[in-house]
Amino acid sequence: MKDMRFFLRYIMLLVLALGISLGNAQSFDLQAFADSTKYGWNDYLERAQYREDLTLRQNKLQLYELEAVPFGGNVLKSAVIPGWGQFATKHNSRATVILSAELISVISAVYFYNKASTNYDHYKNATQIDEINHYWGEVETPYHYSLMMVGLAGVIWLYNMYDVVMSTNEYNENLWQDIMTRSNSPLQVGPNGIELRF
């Protein structure tokens, strides 16, 4: 029984000490925050102006986060379909050129490979030496063109990946300046209608 009383007294003292220390810590934080000179504010008017400026910047940051193009997703888009990432960053002419060049090189590679494959079938069925030599020559040229077109498609794809990294960074850097310009414009079109500031 004595041990139980001692244990309860010990717990009560511990809770009391913890409560007092937490109470002092909380009042210290409130007092530190209430001191406006700590943050460089001379009066409450400067504090209110700072708060308003902070709110405006937070709103602009939310707009930026909504309109910014995510880097990883954009790179993945361009890895799957060359030019797709450039379309997302509003570089439409660049995206069209990259996509067209990639399609032309891939289609050309398939065309030349099919032509070489057809000539290879003729080569396998040939029985005369002249026919064998002729069809072998007809196989080699389109096959080499096919390999060159595959290489060109690879080079275009690599350039596409480099370009999407650069254009995504450029787009996101310019987006903040665009948001600042739009917010400073005297004419604003928003969900509440048209607003004209003087």
- Whether 50 is covered by a domain: the verdict is yes
Check if the beta carbon of residue 123 is closer than 8 Å to that of residue 136.
Answer: yes
- Whether 8 is covered by a domain: the verdict is no
The Cα 161–Cα 195 span in angstroms is 42
- Whether 11 is covered by a domain: the verdict is no
- Whether 21 is covered by a domain: the verdict is no
- Whether 86 is covered by a domain: the verdict is yes
Hunting for tokens 């009391």 — which residue is that? 16
- Model pTM score: 0.66
The Cα 198–Cα 187 span in angstroms is 9
> How many domains does one find in the chain?
1
Segments of the chain scoring below 70 in pLDDT = 1-2, 22-39, 190-191, 197-198
3-state SS, 70-106, equals: CHHHHHHHHHHCCCHHHHHCCCHHHHHHHHHHHHHHH
- Whether 166 is covered by a domain: the verdict is yes
- Whether 175 is covered by a domain: the verdict is yes
Give me the pLDDT at residue 104, please.
Answer: 97
Give me the pLDDT at residue 141, please.
Answer: 92
Among the listed residues 37, 156, 164, 59, the one whose alpha carbon sits nearest the alpha carbon of residue 104: 156
The Cα 187–Cα 34 span in angstroms is 38
- Whether 190 is covered by a domain: the verdict is no
Structural domain of 138: 43-184
- Contacts for 120 with CB less than 8 Å, ≥ 6 apart: 135, 139
Give me the pLDDT at residue 45, please.
Answer: 83
Alpha-carbon dihedral angle through residues 126, 130, 134, 137, given to the nearest 10 degrees: 100
Give me the pLDDT at residue 36, please.
Answer: 61
pLDDT tens column, 169-181: 999 999 988 888 8
Give me the pLDDT at residue 33, please.
Answer: 61
Check if the beta carbon of residue 74 is closer than 8 Å to that of residue 89.
Answer: yes
The Cα 29–Cα 34 span in angstroms is 9
Give me the pLDDT at residue 184, please.
Answer: 76
Instruction: List C-alpha distances in Å: 71 to 27, 87, 104, 110, 157.
Output: 45, 14, 27, 32, 17
